[in-house]
Amino acid sequence: IHDRTTIYRVVCIPGDGIGVDITEAAVQVLNTLSKALGGFEFEFTTVDWSSKAYLERGWYMPPDGLEQLKKFDAIYFGAVGWPDVPDHISLWGLILPIRKALNQYVNVRPTRILPGTTSPLANCAQADLDWVIVRENSEGEYSGQGGISHEHSPHAIGTEVSIFTQVGIERIMRFAFETARSRPRKKLTMVTKSNAQRHGMVLWDKVFYEVAKEYGDVEIDKMLVDAMTVRMVLNPKSLDTIVATNLHADILSDLAAALSGSIGIAPSSNLDPTRKNPSMFEPIHGSAPDIAGKGIANPVGAFWSAAEMVRWLGEEKAADGLMKVVESVTAAGVKTKDLGGSENTKGVTEAVCREIEKQF
């Protein structure tokens, strides 16, 4: 009797390079999914906030851009960055202000080896991994504070100030503990560099152990970030949920993606856990100028990000279903070149759509 359809309003920011290809692929898959399952639909709005537009008009986002975004249920982001624009301009022109203004203080980055794909660790004894990296997304090393003094002299000094606050650390630790608790192994590894960085990182450690007292059922350990890179390669199975700062988690999640087979499959969710603002979903890879315009980008990270968006919107079953389909497609060997296959973006996208129509 109640066959009402829920409409999710999603704003797409395809951005630059392969961001455009993979956003288009994700939209196609999401529309196919909602049509096959019924009960919900997407209403997509696309904005051209890109480096190309920036070069023409001098801005990434209009002055009311952040306010515009707040009207949507979710944001789907492709990639930003282009060789003609210094990276710090493009990052601070678009993605970092969005994360900050919309209180997206958590960035969740799951990693696992999908069926039919091979990890570069394949020859190691423990070549299996299933991780969730919880990245602090609002402060730390990316606080944007600092400056350059004596800039035009041989004695120029650049300072980059990392800011860690009790409130900021506490909330990311709680989210990480909740994530660890929700997973079968209930295990959380905290990453730090408090041997060399003796203020903010020491506070980071201290708050971690304080919050840990509320989560007696979660097994914890602490790693220095340098040793962590070694452990991820040599003993991947010993890790489950990982919590790290903005910079550390950025680096570790690229490593994680590479270890899982390709940076092209890795998703991320920029979440405002209070749900007062829309959250933003994007593959972790960049605009990949070297393969842009060739139609060969791996869309799996975009599909996985789309699945996480669907999950956050409350359509748990649809999200699981989409991931099952994506995995059946990789398992069947329908893969792009970065995963050792011979398909292009379109081929993988169409295979996923066909499979959705078949399975649901």
By the 8 A CB rule, do 307 and 267 touch? Answer: yes
* CB nearer to ligand ATP: pick between 146 and 340: 340
Question: Using the rule CB under 6 A, which residue among 338, 343, 350, 355 binds ligand ATP?
Answer: 338
96 binds ligand ATP (CB under 6 A): no
81 binds ligand ATP (CB under 6 A): yes
**Which residues in the 289-318 window bind ligand ATP by CB under 6 A?**
290-291, 297-298, 301
Beta-strand relationship, 241-244 and 130-136: parallel
* CB nearer to ligand ATP: pick between 53 and 202: 53
# binding residues, ligand ATP (CB under 6 A): 17
Question: Using the rule CB under 6 A, which residue among 286, 335, 344, 356 binds ligand ATP?
Answer: 286
The crossing angle, in degrees rounded to 10, of helices 300-312 and 18-37 is: 50
Question: Using the rule CB under 6 A, which residue among 98, 280, 288, 322 binds ligand ATP?
Answer: 288
Give the x/- contact pattern for ligand ATP in 18-57, rule: CB under 6 A: x---------------------------------------
By CB under 6 A, which span of 213-221, 238-246, 280-288, 323-331 interacts with ligand ATP?
Answer: 280-288
330 binds ligand ATP (CB under 6 A): no
Helix (H, G, I), strand (E, B) or coil at 133: strand
287 binds ligand ATP (CB under 6 A): yes
- Round to whole Å and give the CA distance between 298 and 305: 13
Helix (H, G, I), strand (E, B) or coil at 272: coil
Helix (H, G, I), strand (E, B) or coil at 41: strand
CB crowding 138-171: b at 16 or more within 10 Å, else e: bbbbbbeeeeeeeeeeeeeeeeeebebeeebbeb
Question: Using the rule CB under 6 A, which residue among 112, 285, 311, 335 binds ligand ATP?
Answer: 285
* CB nearer to ligand ATP: pick between 190 and 288: 288
Smallest separation, CB 20 to ligand ATP (Å): 12
- Round to whole Å and give the CA distance between 206 and 283: 32
* CB nearer to ligand ATP: pick between 15 and 140: 15
Smallest separation, CB 19 to ligand ATP (Å): 9
What is the token pair recorded at 27? 């939209």
Smallest separation, CB 169 to ligand ATP (Å): 25
Q: Which of 144, 139, 137, 117 is nearest to 128 (CA)?
A: 117
* CB nearer to ligand ATP: pick between 41 and 87: 87
Q: How far is CA 122 from CA 8, 234, 242, 336, in A?
A: 40, 11, 22, 19
- Round to whole Å and give the CA distance between 284 and 133: 12
Binding site for ligand ATP (CB under 6 A): 18, 79, 81, 87, 263-264, 285-288, 290-291, 297-298, 301, 336, 338
